[in-house]
Structure 1
Amino acid sequence: MDSDSDSPASPPAALLRRIQARGPGWMEAFGELVRIHEGWVRGFLRSRIRDWAAADDLAQDVFVTAFRRIKTYSGEASFEGWLRGIAVNHLRNFVRKRREQCIGGNDELQALIDRGADAFPASGDESGALDALTKCLDKIDGPSRELLNQRYVTGKTVREISAESGKGYSALTMQLHRLRELLAECVQKKMEVPES
């Protein structure tokens, strides 16, 4: 079977047949299949998840699922495509389960809010960003301020806040997303233009 250096090596058909038939040496054959594909599966997931340890865990889950479902692989599509489909499904489930951490995409701002002042050195842009964040937070009051306090000061999850307040989980998630975007924009403006 021909393959170029940019694409993962396809497992030989004999290897797949032995695994699917549970013939002699099928466990070793599956280990070989994992060895052939684990590099690109990890790379695929690591390129989409910032937490590489979580990506590695997901890669293991992909191969566990492949192990369980290998008999359903018909060979109509490429094996790599079949495996990538499993990886995409695991990735979707991961993002869905961690939605309150993933939504918004403002990871640096999230880190500033979560860690607080003592997590950053007193020199460089980090302290300036923290000062800007403090000034931007001072402009927020009322229910939005209370929501930020519950989420980032008290450390409650969005589900806990939803249960206590009676507000919908999705509505709160979107409100937090908008607040993070507003705060990120405010911090960026303050960092660009020194106050007089």
Structure 2
Amino acid sequence: MDGGVYGSGVFRGDVVNADLIVRKVLAGEIDAFGAIIREYQGTVWAIVACMLRDRSATEDIVQQVFVNAYTKLDQYRAGADFEKWLKGIARNAVRFELRRRVRESLRLKQHQDHLLDLMANEARADEHDATLREVVEACVESLSSSSKEALDLRYRQQMDFGQIAVKLGRTVEATRQVLFRIRDALRECADSKLAKT
């Protein structure tokens, strides 16, 4: 043999000598980590699949477990049970994923509750706006034709007081007072009708 991953006592029968592979990977033989993946992938898969019960997520988490193990390889103590160390990383990765799911679920629930509140408020506002519009229309209809004309000139045609005064044949001050009284009458009418609803 050439002394690669499969030679030099790295394997003892079918069992990986994890300490030797870890030393090789830490010494720069990155490809040696593939032997660890091949040896422990089934074990890691079983742990993750049992805890998650979601095939797609299991694939992602198993991959993440080996990435985490690789980046933490310098924390592994030679002579320790490598499989136990790797299982701990797997369990932690699953716990992290489950916490992330709970947070995401809570975030979605809060977002959903917020949207429902907004929709309910909007519906109430629309209902209130419709009621208010009906009340204002009824109050405007109860005005005299000259008062309706003054309102039309000011708010629909957006004329200033001087233009309205000329149109109605009044002084500017008299026009302001008329419009002020009309607004007061509309406010009182609307308040009265809204109090009844």
User: Normalising by structure 1, what TM-score?
Assistant: 0.46
Q: Which has the higher helix share?
A: 2
Greater radius of gyration (CA): 2
Taking structure 2 as the reference length, the TM-score comes to: 0.46
**Larger RCO of the pair (alpha carbons < 8 Å, separation 6+):** 1
